[in-house]
């Protein structure tokens, strides 16, 4: 069940949003729960206490914490959840891109506007769910990593480093054993060394002592393990044919 946060300092606007969401739930047979917040401060306080939502509906022009301020706080905790701005002013549209908002809707909010916006948002969420991904808690907050973009993972001390295709590295503090259990289930990972997991989609060459990746990175192969790794990679390639 999706959790939705609705934040607006105008009580009438808040009531209108609630009414429209209830209409959407009934007409689309949409299973969700929502929590309303009459100020950005209250929403941020809930986040800091560990509350999380799947969709955020924010007014922008609010005293104290503006919608943009709230969105920046949300991104500290969650890099991927859809943020929808509902506002009476078009002047913040450009700034909304800085917090990766996925929609910017001008008030007044009609049934047609809300239904279209929610349809679009749920399609994006569903598309993301259809692609294999892991969710990790990094130093930057909770992040979703698509398996198709993860080149390799390594453990250094107590930290696990996820190396992405883009060159970005996401650092987390978690047991490497649980990372291995999670990633090896996907069938495209091999463990050439006790400190490394490699996505076979990115393998370029396998030698006796190292695996070279298409990103030009290389990871070590444990002594005596090269034959097993080469066979696993061959099996993987043959399955794809």
What are the extents of the domains in the chain?
A: 2-130, 133-240
What pLDDT is attached to residue 106? 93
Q: Is the confidence at residue 241, as pLDDT, over 60? A: no
Q: Reduced to 3 states, what is the DSSP secondary structure of residue 18?
A: helix
Q: Which CATH number fits domain 133-240: 2.40.50.1020, 2.120.10.30, 2.70.70.10, 2.115.10.20?
A: 2.40.50.1020
Q: How much is the pTM? A: 0.58
9-30 average pLDDT score: 96
Each residue's pLDDT tens digit, 29-79: 999 999 999 999 999 999 998 898 999 999 999 998 999 999 999 988 888
Distance between CA atoms of 241 and 238, rounded to whole angstroms?
Answer: 5
**Above pLDDT 70, what percent of the chain?**
98
Each residue's pLDDT tens digit, 77-98: 888 899 999 999 888 888 888 8
160-174 average pLDDT score: 92
Each residue's pLDDT tens digit, 107-123: 999 999 999 999 989 98
Confidence of residue 240 (pLDDT cuts 50, 70, 90): low
Sequence-distant (≥ 6) Cβ neighbours of residue 86 within 8 angstroms = 8, 13, 17, 57, 58, 59, 105, 107, 109
What pLDDT is attached to residue 18? 97
177 near 219, Cβ under 8 Å? Answer: no
Average pLDDT, the chain: 92
The residues that bridge with 152 in the sheet, in sequence order, are: 163, 198
**Strongest mean pLDDT among 9-23, 40-54, 77-91, 162-176:** 9-23
The tokens for 142 are 């909770």
CATH class name, domain 2-130: alpha beta
21 near 114, Cβ under 8 Å? Answer: yes
**Above pLDDT 90, what percent of the chain?**
71
197 near 180, Cβ under 8 Å? Answer: yes
168-172 average pLDDT score: 92
Each residue's pLDDT tens digit, 183-205: 999 999 999 999 999 999 999 99
């Amino acid at each position: 069940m999706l959790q939705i946060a609705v934040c607006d300092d105008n009580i009438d606007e808040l009531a209108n949003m609630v009414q429209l969401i209830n209409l959407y739930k009934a007409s689309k047979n949409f299973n969700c729960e929502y929590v309303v917040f009459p100020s950005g401060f209250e929403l941020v306080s809930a986040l800091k206490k560990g509350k999380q939502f799947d969709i955020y509906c924010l007014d922008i022009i609010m005293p104290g914490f503006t919608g943009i301020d709230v969105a920046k706080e949300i991104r500290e905790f969650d890099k991927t959840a859809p943020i929808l701005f509902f506002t009476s002013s078009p002047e913040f549209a450009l700034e909304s891109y800085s917090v990766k908002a996925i929609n910017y809707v001008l008030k007044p909010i009609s049934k047609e506007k809300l239904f279209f916006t929610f349809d679009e948002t749920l399609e994006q969420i569903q598309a993301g769910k259809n692609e294999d991904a892991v969710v990790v808690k990094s130093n930057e907050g909770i992040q979703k990593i698509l398996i198709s973009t993860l080149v390799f993972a390594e453990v250094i001390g107590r930290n696990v480093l996820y190396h992405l295709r883009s060159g970005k590295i996401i650092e987390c503090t978690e047991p490497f054993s649980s990372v291995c259990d999670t990633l090896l289930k996907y069938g495209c990972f091999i463990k050439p060394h006790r400190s490394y997991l490699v996505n076979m989609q990115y393998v370029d060459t396998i030698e006796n002592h190292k695996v070279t990746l298409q990103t030009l990175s290389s990871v070590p192969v444990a002594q005596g393990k090269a034959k097993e790794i080469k066979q696993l990679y061959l099996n993987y390639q043959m399955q794809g044919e």
